[in-house]
């Protein structure tokens, strides 16, 4: 089988870490990096530290408006599909790269397979929500990570070729965790070995593009008695500079450059609490049993809320303070995201589908 896989952002690199090595045991995979995340620390370092196969193509699209970025990816992916003639276009998640791959594949011959199909936050103000919905409705083969995602697909009339294989990020975390904890030296370098600390990530435009909202979040975190480690996304740094807040929060928080996946897993595993607006990090904290405080008003990963391990606080300082003082604790031993063998199930399903 010939597979053309499309990646373009950090969560997709992590998923490819688990899936590409499984696909390549029996099939030919062409890996395409759209260049959606073009910063070396957000992109290239993942291929090096995780041992992901180097991309066969890098489209070099880079940052732009949603329309321009998606259009450029679409044009280039159409050319690659025509050149490579894959049996399957394989997509992850909810980025502009996902949508471009779904549109390109749907208008041509290959089947379109979507990992993380069926996720819904029910907030159409999020670009990711639009990407999820459109990508699902342009796909042929669906790999939802949970039973609830299956139900969301069914509510939209998608019931054929739907396979709940579990979450490939659980696969990736299980593969990476032991290595991360034995090889990462980041905690020692930060002086945090055995010390309590909070790990935070803030990168969504909803939180970074309004000065008052970003300042409220960071000010509340900085007031906690524990050190706060914040691997700073380029967008966040740019906004802090724009608002004249960078110097202040460099003093009050431990701002560090983005780190590779293994270092980040080590940071998460040892943290008292993870505070984030990232979807993938909510799940990783859940898998690691670390309380998660989510800086959003909604989440596509509702199972983490239901299990008690995650709480939504938006940018409300009182809600953030309360969650930091009384962190959520998971009360469920269930595995709503599968058993860590999603990649094998995906390969086996692809084989049956393409035959």
> Does the annotation mark 203 as catalytic?
yes
Count Cβ atoms below 10 Å from residue 134 Cβ, excluding itself.
16
Which of 120, 77, 109, 123 has the alpha carbon at shortest distance from 96? 77
Are 274 and 301 spatial neighbours (Cβ–Cβ below 8 Å)? no
Residues 278, 283, 285, CA angle at the centre, nearest 5°? 95
Strands 310-312, 292-294: pairing kind: parallel
**Alpha-carbon span 10 to 24, nearest angstrom:** 21
Beta-sheet pairing, 88-92 with 111-115:
parallel
DSSP-derived letter for residue 54 is: P
Looking at 33, 37, 114, 203, which residue is catalytic?
203
Which one-letter DSSP state was computed for residue 55?
Answer: P
DSSP annotation of 142:
E
Contact present, 218 and 207 (Cβ < 8 Å): no
Helix (H, G, I), strand (E, B) or coil at 111: strand
Q: Is 124 helix (H, G, I), strand (E, B) or coil?
A: coil
CB 120 within 8 A of CB 129: yes
Q: Which two tokens stand for residue 131?
A: 């990407």
Three-state SS annotation for 8-33: CCHHHHHHHHHHHHHHCCCCEEEEEE
Catalytic residues: 203
């Amino acid at each position: 089988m010939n597979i053309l896989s499309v990646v373009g952002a950090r969560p997709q690199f992590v998923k490819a870490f688990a899936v590409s090595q499984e696909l390549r045991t029996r099939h030919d995979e062409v890996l395409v990096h759209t260049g959606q995340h073009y910063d070396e620390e957000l992109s290239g370092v993942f291929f090096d530290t995780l041992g992901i196969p180097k991309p066969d193509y890098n489209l070099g699209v880079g940052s732009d408006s949603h329309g321009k970025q998606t259009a450029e990816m679409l044009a280039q992916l159409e050319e690659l599909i025509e050149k490579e003639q894959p049996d399957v276009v394989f997509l992850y998640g909810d980025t502009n790269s996902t949508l471009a791959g779904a549109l390109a594949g749907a208008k041509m011959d290959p089947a379109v397979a979507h990992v993380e199909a069926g996720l819904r936050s029910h907030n159409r103000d999020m670009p990711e929500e639009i990407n999820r919905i459109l990508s699902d409705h342009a796909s042929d083969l669906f790999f939802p990570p949970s039973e609830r995602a299956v139900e969301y697909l069914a509510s939209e009339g998608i019931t054929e070729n739907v396979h709940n294989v579990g979450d490939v990020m659980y696969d990736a975390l299980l593969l990476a965790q032991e290595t991360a904890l034995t090889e990462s030296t980041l905690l020692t370098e930060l002086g945090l070995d055995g010390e309590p600390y909070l790990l935070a990530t803030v990168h969504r435009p909803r939180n970074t593009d309004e000065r008052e909202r970003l300042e409220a979040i960071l000010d509340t975190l900085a007031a906690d008695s524990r050190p706060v480690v914040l691997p700073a996304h380029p967008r966040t740094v740019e906004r802090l500079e724009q608002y004249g807040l960078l110097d202040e929060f460099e003093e009050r928080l431990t701002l560090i450059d983005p780190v590779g996946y293994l270092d980040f897993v080590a940071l998460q595993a040892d943290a008292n609490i993870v505070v984030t607006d990232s979807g993938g990090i909510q799940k990783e904290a859940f898998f690691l049993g670390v309380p998660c405080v989510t800086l959003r008003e909604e989440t596509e990963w509702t199972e983490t809320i239901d299990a008690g391990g995650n709480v939504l606080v938006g940018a409300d300082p009182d809600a953030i303070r309360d969650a930091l003082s009384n962190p959520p604790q998971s009360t469920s031993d269930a595995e709503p995201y599968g058993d860590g063998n999603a990649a094998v199930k995906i390969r086996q399903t692809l084989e049956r589908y393409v035959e």
